[in-house]
Amino acid sequence: MREPNDANDDRRLLIGSLFSGYGGLDLAVEEVFDARTIWFSEINDPVARVFAHHWPDAPNLGDITAIDWNTVEPVDVLCGGFPCQDVSTVGKMAGLAPGTRSGLWAHMATAIEKLQPEWVVIENVRGLLSATAIRASSEGEGDEQRNPDTATPGGATSGDLESDPWHLGEPATRPLRAAGAVLGDLVDLRYDAQWLGLPASTIGAPHPRYRVFILAHRTVPHPAGLRRRAGRREFAAGQSSARHDRAESSDHRPRPPRAKRLPAGGGAREPVGVDRSALRRWGRYAEAVVRWQEVVGRLAPVPTFVREGTVPRPSPAFVEWLMGLPEGWVTDERHGLTANQQLAALGNGVLPMQAASAFGLLTEAALLPGTAC
């Protein structure tokens, strides 16, 4: 597990965390960017206790809608998985709109605009690709600001416009998707962005848990208003001993190697040996369970628990294991969470190794010469 290293903190990028939950996304971002989280924003008190336990030096800024970003310390990386209830396919699909929980994305966009981080990291559910979005009208917007009739296909005379047999335009009847709204806002904020959809099973997890990951990078790096600290390490920008600008592994950095919070992973597609005891215990799920045990480096806990007069329920410790988290990350009794609160926190969280894999791929693409991020 990665632990704080004060001697090297001044050389690491700084992370600001929004909608932080138990810190699953932060674990991935710290791993990929070799960075440290310096503040977070979480309004759910029980799960905020979990985050504060693992990042004791990071203050909780609280409700994102009430933060004065002019008073917040700038960061190099701003990460967050804004609420998914209104874009999730298992929810009401109210969409990304003002007044919805998922509409809190607008406040994250404001944070990006004010803080001007070098990188923006976003995670959300698959429904982001299909849920609709409604953009709030800008202040003072009226009919006089709309396109005149002659500027639209409906108002043009025959022959004024080139024919479009592929129908590549964006007709008014076509809904704006939530992912499109987020990416469009990032473009408006002068960020290049790309996204990747990745199921957890890709890294060997015994469940699909498909997630959408977005990585955005400023088109104009290091603006004057960023107020960067002297001596802070630039991500993949320093010239290495090999005389190139590519990111290098930790053993090339002039400092002692750090312990990691995330398992090394790997071997997700390699065959695994399943013995008879595993088959008896897990049945048709034996191979998937054994594979994940090898990836995370610990045995699967008991999957369910039963209270008198109730039906079996998922064990929080088992769900924690399914998420690839260190033992007790959420379920430690010191956090003071009930079983229901633990399950809710885990259900809303991010699988760190899945996010790290996705953003590792996205950063590699972002750093290729001539490739837009």
DSSP letters spanning 114-174: HH--SEEEEEEEGGGGTSBB-PPPPTT--GGGSPPGGGSGGGSPTTSS---TT--S--TTS
CA distance 46 to 49: 5
Q: Do 118 and 198 belong together in one domain? A: yes
Task: List Cβ neighbours of 194 (8 Å cut-off, separation of 6 or more).
Answer: 214, 215, 216, 362, 365, 366, 372, 373
**329 and 361 share a domain?**
no
Predicted local confidence at residue 307, as pLDDT: 75
**Residues 356 and 323 occupy one common structural domain:** no
pLDDT score for 197: 93
Same domain, 29 and 125: yes
**Structure token pair of residue 40:** 């977070």
From residue 322, alpha-carbon distances to 90, 136, 299 in Å are 20, 39, 11
The domain spanning residue 225 has which CATH number? 3.40.50.150
pLDDT at 103: 61
Note the pLDDT of residue 298.
93
Q: Choose among 233, 168, 228: nearest CA to 12.
A: 233
Structure tokens at 319: 């769900």
Strands 191-198 and 119-125: unpaired
Residues 66 and 192 in one domain: yes
Residues 296 and 206 in one domain: no
* Residue 244 maps to a domain: no
Instruction: Report how far residue 284's alpha carbon sits from residue 271's, in angstroms, rounded to the nearest whole number.
Output: 15
pLDDT averages per 10-residue partition of the chain, 373 residues: 49 93 96 96 95 97 94 96 59 51 77 95 85 58 43 44 48 66 90 94 92 91 44 37 36 45 64 86 93 94 83 93 96 95 93 95 75 46
Are the C-beta atoms of 81 and 123 separated by less than 8 Å? yes
Is residue 157 situated within a structural domain?
A: no
- CA pair distance 97, 207, nearest whole angstrom: 30
Whether 155 is in a domain gets the answer: no
CA distance 94 to 86: 5
Residues 38, 74: Cα–Cα separation, whole Å? 10
13-18 β-sheet, strand order: 35-41, 13-18, 77-80, 119-125, 211-218, 191-198
Residue 341 and residue 292 share a domain? yes
360 and 317 part of one domain: no
Residue 162 domain flag? no
Would you give the DSSP letter of residue 175?
Answer: P
Task: Assess whether 183 and 312 both reside in one domain.
Answer: no
Q: Is residue 164 part of a domain?
A: no
pTM of the full structure: 0.75
Residue 286 token pair: 């034996």
Give the per-residue pLDDT at 68.
96
Q: Are residues 313 and 332 in the same domain?
A: yes
Q: Does residue 33 fall inside a structural domain?
A: yes
Count the domains in the chain: 2
Provide the pLDDT for residue 149. Answer: 45
Residue 70 counted as domain residue: yes
- Shared domain check, 99 and 131: yes
**Considering the domain boundaries, does residue 265 fall inside one?**
no
Beta pairing class for 35-41 and 13-18: parallel
pLDDT at 4: 45
Question: Do 356 and 341 reside in the same domain of the chain?
Answer: no
Residue 44's domain comprises 6-137+175-235+352-366
